[in-house]
Amino acid sequence: MADGISSFWGPVTSTTEWCEQNYVYSSYIAEFFNTISNIPGILLALIGLVNALRQRFEKRFSVLHISNMILAIGSMLFHATLQHVQQQSDETPMVWEMLLYIYILYSPDWHYRSTMPTFLFLYGAAFAVVHSLVRFGIGFKLHYALLCLLCIPRMYKYYIHTEDRSAKWLAKLYVVTLLLGGLCWLCDRLFCKDLSRLSFYPQGHALWHVFMGFNSYFANTFLMFCRAQQRGWDPKVVYLMGFFPYVKIQKPKVQ
């Protein structure tokens, strides 16, 4: 904690505390950069939500973008307070978001349409209840990593079956931002003491938030393209102001 600044939220009760020094800039924000670095993720999810609603994509994508925003807001609350309850508001939406990705990735080939969403909903609800009662440590990270690994084979299948070069580039940006974000996360965890001695601390966990905000946007946009292609909506990746990608569709006219 910085000298001369008291903690508005009281002692740290979360099971995880990051490398950034606490309460440097405000008594109301424990980890300043880890908190504000979630803002890009909220804005990107909002852009994706507007695009999904404006072009009337399936509701699953609107829910996905909203879940991205909820996760980013939960992360802000956690890093601002470092309290156990707010930690749950970060970690539980992380699991819910991955369950949504699993549904979007696997549901097109699932023959029993009601079983998958029902199971995933009950699984997410059960996890939220258990997580509110039990403090997970490494177990949560392993569980989350497993859910992420379940998505990889399907994402790769979508990639190899996509011929559009712009859509493939979205998938590559997804991988690049994931790797860069993961590297920042690992450096922040493994080399905290060494990095803290530098005159300028690089804020590895904050960079993880920024990269993952873009990572979610690229993943969502790629999946929207693939789903529109499955539905025969003639999707195209277009660029706002020449550099910001989004999916534009042309639904067939009803005869």
Q: Binding site for Ca(2+), residues?
A: 18, 20, 22, 31
Q: What is the largest CA-CA distance in the chain?
A: 71
Q: At what angle do helices 138-160 and 204-230 cross, to 10 degrees?
A: 40
Binding residues for Zn(2+): 79, 205, 209
3-state secondary structure labels for all residues of 79-137: HHHCCHHHHHHHHHHHHHHHHHHHHHHHHHHCCCCCHHHHHHHHHHHHHHHHHHHCCCC
* Beta carbons of 167 and 223 less than 8 angstroms apart: no
Question: Amino acid identity, residue 105?
Answer: L
Which 3 state secondary structure label does DSSP give 230? helix
Rounded to an integer, what distance in angstroms lies between the CA atom of residue 7 and that of residue 19?
Answer: 17
Binding residues: 18, 20, 22, 31, 79, 205, 209
Distances (CA, A) of 245 to 50, 191, 207, 235: 14, 35, 21, 12
Tokens at 215, concatenated: 């990572």
Burial of 47 (0-12, 13-18, 19+ CB in 10 A): middle
Distance CA(255)–CA(253), nearest Å, equals: 6
